[in-house]
Amino acid sequence: MYLFFLMYLLLTIHAKSKLVSRKTYIISMDMTFMPKAFTNHHNWYSSTIHSLKTTNHASSEYDESSPSLLYSYDQAIHGFSALLSQDELEALKKSPGFVLASEDRTFKFQTTTPEFLSLNPNTGLWLASNQGEGVIDTGIWPESKSFNDDGMTKNPKRWKGKCEEAQEFNASMCNKKLIGARSFGKGLIANKPGFNISVNSARDMVGHGTLTSSIVAGNYVKGAFFFGYASGTASGVAPRAKLAMYKVTGKSSTYESDVIAVIDQAITDGVDVISLSMVFLNESVPLEEDNLAKATFTVMEKGVLVSTVAGNRFQGDQRIRNGYPWVMIVTASTIDRWFAGTIALGNGEDIVGWSFFPGKDLLQNAILLHPKILRPCDKIRNVPNGIVVCRGEYTKLKSQAWSLLDSNVLAAIIIIDNPSTYVMEDMHFLPLPCILISSDNARVLKDYLKSAKLLIANMTFQQTMIEVKPAPVVASYALRGPSPHIPCVLKPDIMAPGSLILGAWPPNTPVGEIQGHKQKYQEFLVSYGTSLACPHATGVAALLKGAHPEWSPAAIKSAIMTTADHLDNTNNPIRDNGNGLKIAPPLARGSGHIRPNQALDPGLVYDATPQDHVNLLCSINFNSTQVLNFTGPNSYSCSSPSSDLNHPSFIVLLRERKRRASPIIQNFHRIVTNVGQDASTYKVMVTAPEGSTVVVSPEKLIFRKRNEKKSYNLTITYGGKAKSSFGTLVWVEENGNRKVRSPIVISPDVYKTSTGLC
């Protein structure tokens, strides 16, 4: 009996070892090969998958499953996603119309400000929007006050989207603000068969989607706050814009097959702009095989702007992701707000420091504990109950706070350099009462500790400081350029608020813990990340699309970039938190900090057609088959390859140079369109990058009518070493107020891709 059971077990294990292993693939197809017998592409793809079942049936002795079609794609790309074995994939490659197959990839999400952006409900750009914004994220909490439809107009007739009836979500939850809600998760289930989707609908059980949606298009909500911080009236950047949520299920990661399906559907539904706050976890896929690149290219062709993130630093990453030339890449900044607490010393002196403690606790007459030697906060052990004074370290601050919690201290005063600049950009609230003070303020505290015998202090929290200077500052967590995809085009494009941002939050999802065990819930959250910068820029793009429906995605992006601010609120150049508060280069800040009202009337725009972008692809050696795969059946030519895209920036990539090497000379050609007054004249002003000379011809552009185009040439001569430097080109309107600004960058070719064309 035992022997029989053992033999049966071994045979079972052997059989299972021969079970067919399947993966999810995204397949690109040439539509011209579709047989006339099929009425649509979906039927063709279904038949193709069915033929694989028949072909491989005999060889699949232990195959208990079968190949399956997940999605058909007709808009974003031409093809489908399917669950296939290696043998089935090889058979598929022999099918008529097959172009390319790539494995499914994973994304990761990258996670009030309208006043800081100078948006006003009575003037400027805020008056000019009724556009539809598609947000691709973790879903939405439709009951949030941010998605009420007070003051909203009827839905546009061209809108084809819908609210899907599903678990804990019915069509009545949509309104004139939230006009669409769908959920996509077939790719996730195919890649993770055992994954449990807690709520299989567009309802947000994570929080990220609700947060980003409220930032991009949340309606006005009076009395919004986060545990007493950032209180006031909350609103999104485009509070009168329509909103459609496309949920891609998955808290930690999301699959490309689902994202492509979302983009495919969003195009069909008729969105005007798309917000994509996620990045790939794996950047090893070549551009010609990048399905997201293809999908966003198609979106651009159809006149829809895609706004996406530069990405947050993690796992050693330094360079931006999603850096496609035809999308708007958004990096993150701080804003002119930070949160504070006050320490009232026993001698009557007050010290204001940084704090994000969510409790209302007022600590009165608490004993100050101060060792003779100021110790790191994570080295505090076995101290009496009181307020401990310790030394903090920015990179370890969160772990230090939890270490203090384990030490059972009552509260802490943490001494750290520049808490108002570094810490405020990316800290969630701390788990126990803490106030962070600078080394300068610590002198007042140290004097008190030396002078008094009975050391006591009071601590109060939930204070919001506004008009903080300097702001904006480039966030240290944001990834930098150039882009690994096509470094010839400067990325990021623009900077927008991403730190200490208030947004809506699902009330059943905890925002954190206090004292180590008490979960806290709120209807709003303050958070940080390029995920939150992206919807700010998306909202501005939607406002511009409403004001100028005839503008292309490139024109909208140009208007945002050329009117961006390169100065902070002290009227000095924007600084970089990620580089010791040195002046931020365009590879960190893009064109500068977004200014919505100025973007409404940019004067000149740099437009670019799909063919211009194809010329760029051809310049990096795309062959005709790869171009066809990228662009579908549309008629594009590779007859004029050029890396000199008509983009509102300039970048020269340098290899290491010998000491006496000849100067590098690079020419750029640009075309600008007058979208301002009929008759206008612009004169050029140039600040050359260090070690270079810049010549512009002509130096004056004279326009006689609106929509007239003029061209100019820019030549950079560089004779220095291969190091980064930057300058600026500005077209200044004579007898007017418009300034059209573009960054000029000289950068080492970190990807070793330069071929002399850029």
What is the average pLDDT score of the chain?
86
Query: For 60-108, what is each residue's pLDDT tens digit?
Result: 444 456 889 999 999 999 999 999 999 999 999 999 999 999 999 887 7
User: What single-letter DSSP state applies at residue 126?
Assistant: G
Residues 6+ apart with CB under 8 A from 167: 199, 200, 201, 203
The type of residue at 297 is: F
**Greater model confidence, 117 or 584:** 584
Residue position matching structure tokens 């004249």: 681
CB neighbours of residue 240 within 10 Å: 23
Residue 20 has pLDDT above 90, yes or no: no
Separation CA 187–CA 173 (nearest Å): 26
Q: What are residue 456's DSSP bridge partners?
A: 367
CB neighbours of residue 52 within 10 Å: 21
Residue 517 has pLDDT above 80, yes or no: no
Ranges 380-394, 556-570, 653-667: which has the least confidence: 653-667
Inter-residue long-range contacts of 597-600, CB under 8 Å, 24+ positions, other chains counted = 597/118, 597/119, 597/123, 597/124, 597/125, 598/563, 599/125, 599/540, 599/544, 599/559, 599/560, 599/563, 600/124, 600/125, 600/128, 600/543, 600/544, 600/547, 600/559
Catalytic residue among 41, 78, 208, 566: 208
Residue 132 is predicted with a pLDDT of: 63
What 3-state class would DSSP assign to 205? coil
Report which secondary-structure segment, H or E, holds 540: helix 530-547
Query: For 323-367, what is each residue's pLDDT tens digit?
Result: 899 999 999 999 998 899 999 999 999 999 988 888 776 788 999
Sign of CA dihedral 680, 328, 648, 644: negative
Residue 419 is predicted with a pLDDT of: 60
Residue 58 has pLDDT above 60, yes or no: no
Separation CA 180–CA 133 (nearest Å): 10
Alpha-carbon separation of residue 553 from 296, 302, 411, 621 (angstroms): 11, 9, 52, 25
Q: What are residue 567's DSSP bridge partners?
A: 573
* E strands in 521-649: 524-527, 575-576, 582-583, 604-605
Alpha helices in 146-301 (DSSP H): 186-191, 208-217, 256-269, 291-301
Tokens standing for residue 529: 């990340």
Residue 149 has pLDDT above 90, yes or no: yes
Tell me if residue 208 is catalytic. yes
Give the rounded distance of the alpha carbon of 55 from its chain centre.
Answer: 44
Report which secondary-structure segment, H or E, holds 45: helix 41-56
Alpha helices in 407-454 (DSSP H): 439-451
**Greater model confidence, 578 or 681:** 681
Residue 751 is predicted with a pLDDT of: 72
Alpha-carbon separation of residue 659 from 311, 693, 753, 756 (angstroms): 37, 19, 22, 19
Sign of CA dihedral 481, 484, 485, 486: positive
Separation CA 131–CA 539 (nearest Å): 10
Alpha-carbon separation of residue 359 from 405, 512, 516, 551 (angstroms): 15, 12, 13, 48
State the average pLDDT over residues 208-221. 94
Grade residue 384 by pLDDT with cuts at 50, 70 and 90: confident
Inter-residue long-range contacts of 439-446, CB under 8 Å, 24+ positions, other chains counted = 439/415, 441/351, 441/352, 441/353, 442/415, 444/345, 444/349, 444/351, 445/343, 445/345, 445/351, 445/389, 445/413, 445/415
Residue 2 has pLDDT above 60, yes or no: no
Tokens standing for residue 378: 């994570």
Query: For 249-294, what is each residue's pLDDT tens digit?
Result: 766 678 999 999 999 999 999 999 999 988 776 666 888 889 999 9
Give the rounded distance of the alpha carbon of 14 from its chain centre.
Answer: 47
Could you please state the CATH topology (level 3) that the domain comprising 18-103 is classified under: Alpha-Beta Plaits (3.30.70)
CATH number (3.50.30.30, 1.20.120.530, 3.40.390.10, 3.30.1950.10) of 337-466 reads: 3.50.30.30
Alpha-carbon separation of residue 40 from 34, 344, 561, 695 (angstroms): 9, 73, 41, 55
Separation CA 638–CA 181 (nearest Å): 40
Residue 722 is predicted with a pLDDT of: 62
Residue 683 is predicted with a pLDDT of: 98
Ranges 479-493, 618-632, 670-684: which has the least confidence: 618-632
State the average pLDDT over residues 403-408. 83
Q: What are residue 132's DSSP bridge partners?
A: 242
Residue 575 has pLDDT above 90, yes or no: yes
Residue 165 is predicted with a pLDDT of: 95
Residue 626 has pLDDT above 80, yes or no: yes
Alpha-carbon separation of residue 282 from 255, 293, 486 (angstroms): 12, 14, 17
Residue 490: phi and psi, rounded to 5, are: -60, 130
Residues 6+ apart with CB under 8 A from 285: 102, 105
Separation CA 613–CA 647 (nearest Å): 10
User: What single-letter DSSP state applies at residue 428?
Assistant: P
Angle (deg, nearest 10), helices 291-301 and 610-619: 150
Largest CA distance in the chain: 100
Separation CA 658–CA 265 (nearest Å): 53
Separation CA 611–CA 627 (nearest Å): 11
Secondary structure (DSSP) of 49-76: HHHHHHHHTTT-TT--S--EEEEEESSS
Catalytic residue among 137, 493, 568, 576: 137
Residue 421 is predicted with a pLDDT of: 56
Question: What is the CA angle 355-360-362, rounded to 5?
Answer: 85
* E strands in 370-443: 387-391, 411-415, 434-437
Residue 217 has pLDDT above 80, yes or no: yes
Separation CA 476–CA 318 (nearest Å): 11
Residue 492 is predicted with a pLDDT of: 97
Residue 68: phi and psi, rounded to 5, are: -140, 145
State the average pLDDT over residues 703-728. 92
719 neighbors 693 (Cβ within 8 angstroms)? no
Tell me if residue 593 is catalytic. no
Query: For 412-454, what is each residue's pLDDT tens digit?
Result: 999 987 665 555 565 556 778 899 998 888 999 999 988 878 8
300 neighbors 472 (Cβ within 8 angstroms)? no
Grade residue 716 by pLDDT with cuts at 50, 70 and 90: very high
Among residues of the chain, what percentage have pLDDT more than 90?
58
Grade residue 4 by pLDDT with cuts at 50, 70 and 90: very low
Query: For 629-658, what is each residue's pLDDT tens digit?
Result: 888 777 788 889 999 999 999 999 987 666
How many contiguous H segments (helices) and E segments (strands) does the chain have? 15, 39
pTM equals 0.90
Q: Where are the domains of the chain?
A: 18-103, 108-335+473-599, 337-466, 645-748
Tell me if residue 711 is catalytic. no
Could you please state the CATH topology (level 3) that the domain comprising 108-335+473-599 is classified under: Rossmann fold (3.40.50)
**Greater model confidence, 140 or 626:** 140
Residue 423 is predicted with a pLDDT of: 57
Give the rounded distance of the alpha carbon of 25 from its chain centre.
Answer: 26
> In 3D, which of 204, 211, 198, 197 has the Cα closest to residue 182?
204
Separation CA 295–CA 26 (nearest Å): 12
**Greater model confidence, 717 or 19:** 717
Residue 295 has pLDDT above 90, yes or no: yes
Catalytic residue among 531, 591, 680, 747: 531
Residue 321 has pLDDT above 60, yes or no: yes
Residue 115 has pLDDT above 60, yes or no: no
What 3-state class would DSSP assign to 636? coil
Separation CA 686–CA 743 (nearest Å): 10
Domain 645-748 architecture:
Sandwich (2.60)
Residue position matching structure tokens 């819930």: 521
664 neighbors 718 (Cβ within 8 angstroms)? yes
Residue 125 has pLDDT above 60, yes or no: no
What 3-state class would DSSP assign to 10? helix
Residue 7 has pLDDT above 80, yes or no: no
How far is the first Cα of the chain from the last one, in angstroms, to the nearest whole number? 75
334 neighbors 470 (Cβ within 8 angstroms)? no
Separation CA 488–CA 340 (nearest Å): 43
The type of residue at 105 is: R
321 neighbors 284 (Cβ within 8 angstroms)? no
CB neighbours of residue 267 within 10 Å: 20
Tokens standing for residue 124: 């400027």
Residue 10 has pLDDT above 50, yes or no: no
Grade residue 112 by pLDDT with cuts at 50, 70 and 90: very low
Query: For 164-210, what is each residue's pLDDT tens digit?
Result: 999 999 999 999 999 999 999 999 999 988 888 888 999 999 999 99
Grade residue 140 by pLDDT with cuts at 50, 70 and 90: very high
Grade residue 514 by pLDDT with cuts at 50, 70 and 90: low
